Structures are given as C-alpha cells and as structure tokens.
Homo-oligomer: A and B are copies of this chain.
Amino acid sequence: MSANSRLTIASHALAWIGLYQRQGHEVATSEQIASSANTNPVVIRRLLGDLRRAGLVESRRGVGAGWSLARELGSMTLLDVYEAVEPGPLFAMHRTTPDQECVVGHGIQPAMQRVYDGVEQTLRKELARVTLEDVLQDVLATPR
C-alpha cells in the first residue's frame, strides 16, 4: 500500500511527552523525542505541528522551550491523531476519469465510493476506541 509511519511516530511522540510529564518535567524537546524514535528532530516538529493545529499539544518557544500535552492522554484517541496527521483517503479512485460512455466506467466510482466511505467510517470507529492512555499503558506493560 505504501503505508506511512506518521500515525506510529505521532503516537510515539505523544506517549513520550505524556510519560515525561508524569516524571515531573514541564516540556519535552523535539530532540529528545527524536532520539527515542530514532529519527530527525524536524520530522518530530512537523508531526507535532500537526498535532498542535489539532489542539492535542502546545509548544513553547524561547529558552525553556518545548512541547507539552494540551489535554490528558485519556481524552485523546488514535482517531484524533489519525485525523491530525493523515491527509488523504485510504483508497484512491482512477487517476484519470473512466469512460463515461461505458456503463461500468460511468457507475464504478459512485459504487466504490460508497464502499470506501463505509470502510473509512468503520476504521474511524476502531481508532476512536483506543486512547493514548491505553497506548501508554500497553507500552509500559511490555516486558523487556
């Protein structure tokens, strides 16, 4: 499918910030999170920027700068994260319009669109059932 890792990395960042704050720290830096996720700080800043626009995190600038949660992890679901960082739909239509003179070419897009809409709805419901608190608890419960 050529899947991307944005939902994974964004969830990683949120869990990391949440845990870090529980350990008494005010803000987390993109550099710290990038080190945990083994990627570049700019990648983290890009994703956290999306999450900030969605109201899930806040950023502070200046010297004591960094990121903090805007809400409790228990009130954020993976659907919130998904909608914040995933732009497009799951399945694509034809890249060029099919032959409208052909019965199939004419009716296939509405037909498939109905199916895809239903599938996306179901996927959203599934993602909405998992909070970031659930994820963090699951992370902490992983044996080492």
Contact = CB atoms under 8 A, between A and B. Distances in A.
A96 B106 CA distance: 44
Instruction: Report copies per complex.
Output: 2
A55 interface: no
Interface residues of A, number: 61
Interface in A85-134: 86-99, 102-112, 114-115, 118-119, 122-123, 126-127, 130
Given A36-B98, A38-B94, A16 B104 contact: yes
A80 to B, nearest CB: 14
A63 interface: no
Chain A interface, DSSP helix/strand/loop, else mixed: helix
A50 B3 CA distance: 20
A19 B107 CA distance: 13
